[in-house]
């Protein structure tokens, strides 16, 4: 019984540590596209790697221009959205190429 409790506590500590780990900053290149035609969508970033970013927040004074190539640094943010067409992300840095 004592061994069972020890294993259970160790397992809980490991799982808690995994859940508390912070998302890493991701760097990627892509193109800003206008998805206004999709229900609840707007401007999103089509990544060169094949995914899409649905922006939850942008750096201050950032203006998005559809059709422009960009380099972005972002953190994926688990979030609910109406659009549901991409990964929700907080944009840390956005530079036009």
How many Å from the N-terminal Cα to the C-terminal Cα in the chain? Answer: 62
Q: Is the pLDDT of residue 78 over 50?
A: yes
The pLDDT tens digits for 24-55 are 899 999 999 999 998 889 999 999 999 999 99
pTM: 0.75
Name the more confident of 3 and 75.
75
Given a contact cutoff of 8 angstroms between Cβ atoms, the answer to whether 51 and 89 are in contact is no
Domains and CATH numbers, the chain: 24-96 (2.40.50.500)
Residue 48 has what pLDDT? Answer: 97
């Amino acid at each position: 019984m004592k061994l069972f409790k020890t294993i259970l506590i160790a397992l809980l500590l490991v799982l808690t540590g995994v859940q508390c780990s912070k998302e890493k900053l991701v760097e990627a290149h892509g193109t800003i596209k206008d998805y206004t035609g999709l229900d609840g969508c707007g401007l999103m970033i089509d990544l060169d790697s094949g995914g899409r970013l649905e922006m939850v927040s942008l750096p201050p004074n950032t203006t998005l221009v559809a059709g422009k190539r960009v380099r972005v640094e972002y953190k994926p943010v688990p979030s609910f959205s109406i659009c549901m067409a991409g990964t929700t992300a907080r944009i840390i840095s956005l530079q036009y190429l």
